[in-house]
Structure 1
């Protein structure tokens, strides 16, 4: 693979609401995806197109974990594929900056919303896939890119500098 890159961000933010077709508000409860990310083989796609897979949990190229903010993901971008190049290019230029989750709701709670729309709180869902999209239903989601090579080289340079300093202090340089 040429210059390896990682796309990362949040596919879901706990407690962040979005308007679904002006019919209801929807949000994910913290921990609502725990079982799914532990048990399901989840893919990352481009624009929800099943023919454009750019990562998969079973292969290890897509990693998902829940934290205090939401569902964080990291996907290793394969720049040897056209879809990998598209993902890296559109996210790198910030043409695409959001993620859209595709899921099945297992359990939910409905509340009378103060805005006139009812609020659906998803308490458990099965995640099928996440997609890099131009217009995500949840605009709070994120997609950013970092270069693994650059990250590793900066870390390596810091380690080398620290070792040199230790050697200098000991009189070895």
Structure 2
């Protein structure tokens, strides 16, 4: 059983080239790379309880056609800087990845604050909030040089994100995870989406907190092949689904995950 929760990924502005830029009329806009394609990033500790991740080219194609994304400050929906449907936010895909071009309306006091914080390097990161629609997991080998100068090989999981539903992009104060708890939240969200009991159990050896995910991700019996059946679930099944819902609410509160409406 897989469960989809909102995930977030952060990058330093220095690594993406996102910055304040003047348009043809001299007004400042905010633009640059929000999410790179084909760049392998470590989520948690890939050698033990984490994994590597990269976004495949075209991962945003469908969501850009269907969505109405916003640009926010620190993922706070109170601070809406721009929006696709309003024509103030433009998203595009280049060979590098997802590109952002946002108008900055100085009639909004927090946008004036954002510009000042960007100039003063108080805000130094870019982040995206998204749901994974399609991904693949593979095992890869990584060469690592030890303190003794010898090269050792270890296996790790690589998650390739092939399609996402993008919710928003944000200018953020912290360009990277500031503690392992935040990384644990990201690993938890990805494992819920993956729905693989074995993957959870192997990581729970190193991070026992992840074992809580097994309350939701369970070995389910095979589904019927008769796709035209749409009967109401029997009472025991409904009770099981209710228990899953309660468990998910508890996990979302504990790990700071956002469940879809």
* TM-score (norm. length: structure 2): 0.49
> In the alignment, does 2:36 pair up with 1:36?
no
> Aligned with 2:140: secondary structure?
coil
Q: CA deviation at 1:98?
A: 2.2
Aligned counterparts of 1:80 and 1:21: Cα–Cα separation in 2: 40
The equivalences for 1:44-123 within 5 A come to 44-115=71-142, 116-123=155-162
What secondary structure does 1:94 align onto?
coil
Aligned to 2:37: 14
Unaligned runs of 5+ in 1: 139-173
Query: Counterpart of 1:135?
Result: 174
CA–CA distance in structure 2, aligned partners of residues 126 and 32 of structure 1? 9
Q: Give the gaps of 5 or more residues in structure 2.
A: 1-25, 143-154, 178-261
Number of equivalenced pairs: 136
Shift >3 Å, 4+ stretches: none
More strand per residue: 1 or 2? 1
Cα offset, 1:117, TM superposition = 3.1
CA RMSD across the alignment: 1.7
Bigger proportion of residues as helix: 2
Tell whether 2:67 aligns with 1:24.
no
TM-score normalised by the chain length of structure 1: 0.73
Change (3 A) 1:99 1:38: same
Partner of 1:125: 164
In structure 2, relative to structure 1, the CA distance for the partners of 1:60 and 1:27 (3 Å cut) is: same
C-alpha contact (below 8 Å) 1:65/1:71 kept by paired residues: yes
Q: How many angstroms does 1:4 deviate by?
A: 3.2
Q: CA deviation at 1:92?
A: 2.0
Q: Distance in 2 between matches of 1:46 and 1:67?
A: 24
